[in-house]
Amino acid sequence: MKSLCLSGVQPTNFLHVGNYIGALKQWVEIQHRFPCYFCIVDLHAITVAQDPKQLRENVLNTAATYLAVGIDPKRSHVFIQSEVHEHAELGWILGTITRIAELERMTQFKDKAKRRADNVGVGLFTYPALMAADILLYDTTVVPVGEDQMQHVELTRTIARRFNTTFGDTFVIPQALIQKQGARIMGLDDPSVKMSKSATSTMNYIALTDDDDTIRKKIMRAVTDSGKDIVYDPDKKPAVTNLLTIFHHMTGRTIKDLENEFEGKGYGDLKKALADAVIAHVGPIRDKIAEYRKDPKELMRVLDAGRDAAQELATTKMKIVRERVGLGRA
Ligand code: TYM
């Protein structure tokens, strides 16, 4: 079986360091090993209300971010989900074999529905069937994501197996790929919740577009744990563990090495050094995002080529799916 990698991000806002460490950083490495398809999932984004003009801006910002972090369009295909209509079509078909009880168990749905109790659309509920379509349409073998998407990838596997049993072998069973450390980056202002684009306070996250002063301010104000030892211990030291994890990903230095360096030093020293490391790593990404946004021609070229490459695979796969299910005419 040929390996193929697919993943995506919702263009609901700028991306943050959690998205970067949990997902995009893995993508940059994987693209040297497998053919990769990275989509911008705008159909998923509209499962909560979006301003149409801002959504299109966010789609381009997300594309610029993919390229700025090091996705190489010569190796990888970057495309917009809604431009390949087969995603929506397969999402519908898979929705017909997805059980309500399975969707009700999804923690992302439960969290989002709780926050918008008076305004939960059907699309928010069936979101995982569309995500399964994104993945299964391309015979994806590897899905690099953060921990919060593991449940959706598990459900994708269940749906694929069910389809194969009912209609005959059609879909490859994909596997999630998550970081050993950093699959769940926590909020700087509250290490008990994940870093999130939709956090109420901007102190929760570091956006990849934050300027140097903002990055420094957010890190210096980050919540810390009681005691003063700088050690990696997710249970007893969740805040320090989170800072060390971010440090590790920004510099490539091992956690052990960082613990040694900060032995006997204070939280203030750790934060100062971490702020320098994040600025050194995120600064160039931020500047490249701005460059790509200034030159939309290059972005358009990449998105056109990505769409065409994705379309080719999607067309072939959907012909088989329609036949297996018995849709349309022979
Ligand atoms: P989204 O847009 O919420 O997040 C994009 C990616 O970032 C990861 N992530 C994190 N990783 C570590 N720590 C965090 N605090 C953190 N926050 C977010 C997410 O796990 C994700 O990998 N449903 C998906 C988008 C999607 C998708 C797909 C992904 C749609 N179709 C097909 C893979 C394959 C989502 O909402 O990601």
Residues 315, 218 within the same domain: no
| Binding residue ranges for ATP | 10-12, 18-19, 146-148, 185, 194-198
Query: Digits of tens for pLDDT over the chain (330 positions)?
Result: 799 999 999 999 899 999 999 999 999 999 999 999 999 999 999 999 999 999 999 999 999 999 999 999 999 999 999 999 999 999 999 999 999 999 999 999 998 888 877 788 999 999 999 999 999 999 999 999 999 999 999 999 999 999 999 999 999 999 999 999 899 999 999 999 999 988 889 999 999 999 999 999 999 999 999 999 999 999 999 999 999 999 999 999 999 999 999 999 999 999 999 999 999 999 999 999 999 999 889 999 999 999 999 999 999 999 999 999 999 998
- CATH code, domain carrying 135: 3.40.50.620
Split into its structural domains, the chain has a count of 2
Ligand 1 geometric centre to CA of 175 (Å):
15
Query: Is residue 271 situated within a structural domain?
Result: yes
The sign of the dihedral angle between the CA atoms of 241, 151, 208, 192 is negative
Q: Which helix (H) or strand (E) holds 132?
A: helix 122-136
- CATH code, domain carrying 225: 1.10.240.10
Residues 117, 13 within the same domain: yes
Q: Which residues line ligand 1 (CB under 6 A)?
A: 6-10, 18-19, 21-23, 41, 44, 131, 134-135, 143, 145-146, 148-149, 152, 183-185, 194-195
User: What is the distance between the alpha carbons of residues 175 and 142, in angstroms, rounded to a whole number?
Assistant: 5
Residues 231, 88 within the same domain: no
Pocket test for ligand 1, best of 6, 16, 19, 39 (most atoms within 8 A of CB): 19
Ligand 1 geometric centre to CA of 142 (Å):
14
Residues 136, 272 within the same domain: no
Please identify, by atom number, the ligand 1 atom nearest to the C-alpha of residue 147: 20
| Span 222-270, pLDDT tens digits | 999 999 999 999 999 999 999 999 999 999 999 999 999 999 999 999 9
Residues 312, 278 within the same domain: no
Query: Is residue 191 situated within a structural domain?
Result: no
User: What is the distance between the alpha carbons of residues 315 and 90, in angstroms, rounded to a whole number?
Assistant: 11
User: What is the distance between the alpha carbons of residues 144 and 175, in angstroms, rounded to a whole number?
Assistant: 9
Q: Which of 51, 44, 183 shows the shortest CA–CA distance to 121? A: 44
Ligand 1 geometric centre to CA of 22 (Å):
8
- Which domain covers residue 249, as residue numbers? 202-290
Q: Which two tokens stand for residue 312?
A: 């080719």
Residue nearest to atom 27 of ligand 1 (CA): 8
Residues 241, 125 within the same domain: no
Ligand 1 geometric centre to CA of 268 (Å):
31
User: What is the distance between the alpha carbons of residues 78 and 58, in angstroms, rounded to a whole number?
Assistant: 15
Count Cβ atoms below 10 Å from residue 95 Cβ, excluding itself.
18
- pTM value is 0.97
Return the pLDDT at 200. Answer: 87
Return the pLDDT at 102. Answer: 98
Residues 35, 66 within the same domain: yes
User: What is the distance between the alpha carbons of residues 209 and 214, in angstroms, rounded to a whole number?
Assistant: 10
Query: Is residue 195 situated within a structural domain?
Result: no
Residue nearest to atom 26 of ligand 1 (CA): 8
Residues 216, 311 within the same domain: no
Pocket test for ligand 1, best of 25, 87, 145 (most atoms within 8 A of CB): 145
Residues 169, 67 within the same domain: yes
Residues 58, 121 within the same domain: yes
Ligand 1 geometric centre to CA of 8 (Å):
7
Return the pLDDT at 128. Answer: 98
Catalytic positions? 112, 194, 197
Residues 320, 173 within the same domain: yes
Please identify, by atom number, the ligand 1 atom nearest to the C-alpha of residue 182: 12
Residue nearest to atom 19 of ligand 1 (CA): 146
Instruction: Please count the CA atoms within 13 angstroms of the CA of 222 that sit on its side-chain side.
Output: 33
Please identify, by atom number, the ligand 1 atom nearest to the C-alpha of residue 130: 31
Return the pLDDT at 115. Answer: 84
Residues 88, 167 within the same domain: yes
Return the pLDDT at 330. Answer: 85
Residue nearest to atom 9 of ligand 1 (CA): 19
